[in-house]
Amino acid sequence: MTSSFPAAAGTVQDKAAGISAAALKAAQAADPTFAQRHDEAGLKTLLRDGELLAERLSMCLGGGGDGWLTEYAEWIGPIERRRRVPLADLAAICDGMREAIAPYLAADELAAATASLNAAAAVFRRNGRLGGDRHKRNAFLKWFYRGV
């Protein structure tokens, strides 16, 4: 875990709670319906999920790859579906996390973190298209397949 950016990994690990809170605020600011979809308990759960994403990001920064974060994104998909959380919301938290970690990291560290977060957000967006996710459906297709 010291092959890439161990100092940046320690910084992200130490500030995981603050980064998670800032990422959740950024996700709420980007999508005004975010707070309507989640109650107080749901937001607290998403805050904890953001802390876990930050911990996995620190592993990616320390180890020099994005496998820890993308594997976690694959694993957490079914759990979030059970909680009725759209995976697009977790992708929005990843986008917000990019903004939240920028003041703490140097340019090359930020580039590595951005690559890892982009890979995780891509996994969330890809898996969010699967059945069972609570994303907004196409109204025409819903009407069209109603009679089938």
In a domain, 1, yes or no: no
pLDDT tens readout for residues 66-116: 899 999 999 998 898 888 888 989 999 999 999 999 999 999 999 999 999
How many separate domains does the chain show? 1
User: Please, what is the average pLDDT of the chain?
Assistant: 89
In a domain, 68, yes or no: yes
Q: According to the model, what pLDDT value does residue 82 have?
A: 87
Residues sharing a CB contact under 8 Å with residue 84, sequence separation 6 or more, in sequence order:
134
Contact 9, 56 (CB under 8 A): no
Contact 69, 60 (CB under 8 A): yes
Which CATH number do you get for residue 56?
Answer: 1.10.490
Q: According to the model, what pLDDT value does residue 78 have?
A: 87
Q: According to the model, what pLDDT value does residue 132 have?
A: 62
Q: According to the model, what pLDDT value does residue 108 have?
A: 94
Q: According to the model, what pLDDT value does residue 135 have?
A: 65
The confidence band for 43, taking pLDDT boundaries of 50, 70 and 90, is: very high
| Eight-state DSSP code of residue 135 | P
Residue 147 clears pLDDT 90, i.e. is over it: no
Which range of residues forms the domain containing residue 55?
6-147
